[in-house]
Structure 1
Amino acid sequence: MAYTGEVSVGGTPDVHELGDLIITKVAVGPMDNNAYVLRCRATDEQLLIDAANEPRTLLEVIGADGLAAVVTTHRHGDHWQALADVVSATGARTFAGRADAEGIPVPTDVLVDDEDTIAFGHIRLTARHLVGHTPGSIALLYDDPHGHPHLFTGDCLFPGGVGNTFQDPAAFTSLLSDVTTRLFTPLPDETWVYPGHGKDTTLGTERPYLEEWRQRGW
């Protein structure tokens, strides 16, 4: 079946098969978080984006091939509830944005800055630092050599708007500016967006509404 990105807590993960990379999306409770297991086709090495919750569910998706790394997109607790258990079970290295690492109670092995590369197998992800939802949120970009880019945005970009900035005008302005200049401006409409909660989208789907988001202030 074709990948849709529509998953539900307790349901079947959805698998997006690319030329060099396999992306498995799974939803975990209780806050309907998305977690993504990325597998390099050439080496079978795997990376997890957001060990959000339900470690047993995540470890089932990871399977017997183990896990090289876990990237936490930001410090909010619903994105790292399973991190300690997953790291304990797999020995994976931990990555997080430099400005958010202190808010994650599992030690961060690698502090990530804007434009840093995170590698596993033959796959390279590029970090984009986005300030506003938290000080150190990062998005992860996979520039597929066989097709369009793929972007994992944590809680910074969703269908219909940027992430929650908690009624802080300065934080909203910062986040919208970073999302515009670091995601929408350099990347094409075909870029597939995998958010931290809910359904996927593309930059092309969301681009016409940037000014509307700016006007409404959230």
Structure 2
Amino acid sequence: MTYTGDVKVGGPADVRELPGLRIAKLAVGPFDNNAYLLRCTETGDGLLIDAAAEADRLLAFVDEGPISSIVTTHRHGDHWQALEQVTKVTGATPIAHPLDAPALPVPVERLVEHGDTITVGTVTLEVIHLRGHTPGSIALLYDGGDEERHLFTGDSLFPGGVGNTQKDPERFERLYTDVVERVFDRLPDQTWVYPGHGKDTTLGAERPSLPEWLARGW
């Protein structure tokens, strides 16, 4: 596998080819945000995760074919600076959780809850609500079968810990509990994690550190 997930702002995308699905990762903006383009290889339909910044680069990123949806993982501004322009140009449907949707700069045409599904062509993604970083943070899971699972976590899970909860113990407990119960307890170690910033990881690489995260409280 040549895909590493190591991308830099201003640099090229890194691309991963799966049976039926192409995943491309691009780093954009002053906060080194990751944007992900998922494209169904059967139909050519695309879905963009987090139109974070640099609209021109994102539009070039998705230009090879149509995108039907743009999913915003959560309401923090660094994840949607290019959303209005990319939505206007592509006509893609904005998607977000109802608790975070009001903060976005465009009307959210589709609201999704925990357990809902989003399709891109013939590919189905499951919505996982991970509360704590923001009230309406969501992750997207692609289950390709045979232990082939890919999880796009926004700012809720990174290499080395869960997302920032501003030292609020209640928010940390909520996020940690959701990440354990809704992610680690149900998905295998081989699950690949694509975060909202920085490098990728796997659940297997992070699982041994769960007690440490709980003890430190962040």
One-letter code of the match for 1:34?
A: N
Following TM superposition, the consecutive aligned residue runs of length 4 or more in structure 1 with deviations greater than 4 angstroms are none
1:147 Cα offset (Å): 4.8
1:91 Cα offset (Å): 0.2
The answer to whether the 8 A contact 1:19-1:146 is kept is no
> What value does the CA root-mean-square deviation take over the aligned residues?
0.9
**In the TM superposition, what whole-angstrom CA distance separates every residue of 1:29-84 from its partner, at most 9, and x where no partner exists?**
11000000000000000000000000111111101412110000000000000000
The answer to whether the 8 A contact 1:14-1:24 is kept is yes
What is the DSSP-based 3-state SS (H/G/I as helix, E as strand, rest coil) of the residue aligned with 1:65? Answer: coil
1:146 Cα offset (Å): 5.5
Q: Which residue in the other structure is 1:211 paired with?
A: 211
Residue ranges of structure 1 left out of the alignment (5+ in a row): none
Q: Which residue in the other structure is 2:120 paired with?
A: 120
Q: Percent identity?
A: 60
Q: Which residue in the other structure is 1:202 paired with?
A: 202
One-letter code of the match for 2:21?
A: L
What is the DSSP-based 3-state SS (H/G/I as helix, E as strand, rest coil) of the residue aligned with 2:26? Answer: strand
Q: Does 1:158 align with 2:166?
A: no
The answer to whether the 8 A contact 1:100-1:135 is kept is yes
Q: Which residue in the other structure is 1:103 paired with?
A: 103
What is the DSSP-based 3-state SS (H/G/I as helix, E as strand, rest coil) of the residue aligned with 1:63? Answer: coil
Alpha-carbon distance in 2 for matches of 1:145, 1:217 = 34
One-letter code of the match for 1:24?
A: A
The answer to whether the 8 A contact 1:143-1:149 is kept is yes
One-letter code of the match for 2:102?
A: E
Q: Which residue in the other structure is 1:50 paired with?
A: 50
Question: With structure 1 as the length reference, what TM-score do the two structures score?
Answer: 0.98
Q: Which residue in the other structure is 1:69 paired with?
A: 69
- Map 1:170-189 → 2, pairs under 5 A: 170-189=170-189
Q: Which residue in the other structure is 2:38 paired with?
A: 38
Q: How many residues are treated as equivalent by the alignment?
A: 218
Residue ranges of structure 2 left out of the alignment (5+ in a row): none
**In the TM superposition, what whole-angstrom CA distance separates every residue of 1:97-148 from its partner, at most 9, and x where no partner exists?**
1111111121100111000000110010000001000000000000013651
Which deviates further from its counterpart, 144-153 or 188-197? 144-153
Q: Which residue in the other structure is 1:138 paired with?
A: 138
Alpha-carbon distance in 1 for matches of 2:73, 2:171 = 17
